[in-house]
A = this chain, B = another copy of it.
């Protein structure tokens, strides 16, 4: 393994973002991370709230939300506008030189509109390419990119993209240049032994105990594909993955699941 500098890639999402106090707590944690870092944020419920204030009915197909043009505009306004600039303002107010970006800025993340078959999700983009050299240039200037969950098709069309995916793709694209420590922060305090008990966090997972937990049924359901992807990322060279509702900082013992 190369002696690369460390890079923290932190994704924050879920209802935490909607609560100003909790958001500030997360940003405080992120700000205290030493060295190179990237923040990726989702949109919480604020886009849905704006949609309903505008009287727009969510379009659901097979239980999944469709991004029509009006919904895309709302996502751009809330993610790239309100949340991204509020986060950037907070961080810069705390002397972190954050720069809020979408995938369209500097051509940073090019995606393609998802195929309309079998379900037409509308203006949803799946990531094709990260402009790694420009992300590195930003980091090398000592600046902190703050990505919202908006990408574009390389031609001019903005697209809605999952924030977890952006964090993962950024991490994989930067593997050759940094030792990546990836954090997924959302409402759940890590991987739980018992989904109904928020104190049942499994503090540490490696492939061996993960496979045992899968076998004995401790871990199941929707967590399996997520954790399979996490171990795939570890296998590709990501140094650690932290799943929690708080940012893991060097100076305190946060509760969450560390995957290595």
With contact pairs A86-B158, A137-B141 given, residues A92 and B104 touching in the complex (Cβ less than 8 Å): yes
With contact pairs A77-B77, A93-B155, A155-B93 given, residues A150 and B107 touching in the complex (Cβ less than 8 Å): no
Q: How far is the CA of A78 from the CA of B85 in the complex (A)?
A: 12
Contact with B along A73-84 (1 / 0, CB 8 A): 100111111101
CB–CB B102/A106 < 8 A: no
Q: How far is the CA of A66 from the CA of B158 in the complex (A)?
A: 31
Contact with B along A134-158 (1 / 0, CB 8 A): 1001000101000000101111111
CB–CB B82/A73 < 8 A: yes
CB–CB B158/A89 < 8 A: yes
| CB proximity of A97 to chain B, nearest CB, Å | 5
- The answer to whether A234 has its CB under 8 Å from any CB of chain B is no
Contact of A92 among B84, B105, B141 (CB under 8 A): B105
| CB proximity of A61 to chain B, nearest CB, Å | 25
Residue of B whose beta carbon sits closest to that of A73: B82
- The answer to whether A210 has its CB under 8 Å from any CB of chain B is no
- The answer to whether A98 has its CB under 8 Å from any CB of chain B is yes
- The answer to whether A100 has its CB under 8 Å from any CB of chain B is yes
Contact of A85 among B90, B102, B137 (CB under 8 A): B102
Q: How far is the CA of A11 from the CA of B158 in the complex (A)?
A: 23
What number of A residues sit within 8 Å (CB to CB) of B?
41
Chain B residues whose CB sits within 8 angstroms of the CB of A76 once the complex forms: 81-82, 85-86
- The answer to whether A88 has its CB under 8 Å from any CB of chain B is yes
With contact pairs A54-B54, A84-B80 given, residues A102 and B100 touching in the complex (Cβ less than 8 Å): yes
CB–CB A85/B104 < 8 A: yes
Residue of B whose beta carbon sits closest to that of A86: B158
Chain B residues whose CB sits within 8 angstroms of the CB of A101 once the complex forms: 99-100
Residue of B whose beta carbon sits closest to that of A98: B105
Chain B residues whose CB sits within 8 angstroms of the CB of A53 once the complex forms: 54
Chain B residues whose CB sits within 8 angstroms of the CB of A102 once the complex forms: 85, 88-89, 100
Beyond A80-B81, A97-B107, 11 additional contacts (C-beta under 8 Å) are: A54-B54, A76-B81, A76-B86, A78-B81, A81-B81, A85-B158, A88-B102, A93-B154, A98-B106, A100-B101, A137-B141
